[in-house]
Amino acid sequence: MRVFGRWLLLLAAAALALQLFFVARIALMAWADPQSTAFQRSEAWRLASGGGDWRWRQQWVDENRIADHLKRAVIASEDSGFPEHDGVDWQAIEKAWERNEKAEARAAQGKSARAPKIVGGSTITQQLAKNLFLSGERTLLRKGQELVLTLALEALLDKRRILTIYLNSVEWGEGVFGAEAAARHYYRKSAAQLTAYEAARLAVMLPRPRHYEKQPNSPYLASRARTIVARMGQVELP
């Protein structure tokens, strides 16, 4: 029992050390731009392992070099409550849970031939926490760690900084990361020059960027972008 207790203490100490490491890295991000994220590194490994001709595209830009159109579009599309919530939108999670339960029930009753689509309720801060530090696996332990990191991001960084890091690191296509790289890849212009409609299209791509990169003429992409443009005027930036 004494040996077991020592192992428990060692595990607890290791877990605490890991959390302190994460907190220190987040605190540093208040003024230092992160060089890469866990998701970016995993994607680089995937692309390199797959061979073929690929190129990493990312260029960090300050928040004043990202069009307000894109900031508003991403908030309208991904997380309308971003300026107000504390990192977790519990109401959105509850709604997503209900939609997933209904989809699974329809599939179980044979009313849908397709596998149920799992809908998430993640906020921009939660997505950033996952991309910065975590793997893509879906386990309760990983979701718990995501919650801790989300709260740390909200406690140590202001909303503008969180949004800036997110827009500079999120995936927008195969090897395309960040707003500047996305604007130049799709529109041959800087992120500061994006129009409202261009920004809306980029925002709509975010849940499935590699899919829409291959299908730029998707009717859904165009229709959803018009909806986001209509909503952008109601978004107040942090």
Given this model, what pLDDT does residue 116 score? 40
Q: Which amino acid, one-letter code, is at 22?
A: F
Given this model, what pLDDT does residue 26 score? 97
Distance CA 115, CA 197 (A): 33
Given this model, what pLDDT does residue 207 score? 92
- 8 A C-beta contact, residue 82 and residue 159: yes
Given this model, what pLDDT does residue 118 score? 43
Given this model, what pLDDT does residue 105 score? 62
What are phi and psi for residue 186, nearest 5 degrees? -95, -30
Q: Is the dihedral of CA 121, 123, 128, 129 positive or negative?
A: negative
Q: What burial class does residue 74 get, using C-beta atoms within 10 Å of its C-beta: 0-12 exposed, 13-18 middle, 19+ buried?
A: buried
pLDDT per residue of the chain (238 residues) written in tens, 0 to 9:
677 778 888 888 998 899 999 999 999 999 999 989 999 999 988 888 877 677 889 999 999 999 999 999 999 999 999 999 999 987 766 675 666 556 556 666 665 544 444 445 689 999 999 999 997 777 888 889 999 999 999 999 999 999 999 999 999 999 999 999 999 999 999 999 999 999 999 999 999 999 999 999 999 999 999 999 999 999 999 9
Give all domains of the chain, ordered by start, each with its CATH number: 2-27+56-88+123-232 (1.10.3810.10)
CA 44 centroid distance within chain: 17
Q: Where are the alpha helices (DSSP H) in the chain?
A: 2-28, 38-50, 68-78, 90-108, 124-133, 140-156, 159-169, 179-187, 196-205, 209-214, 219-232
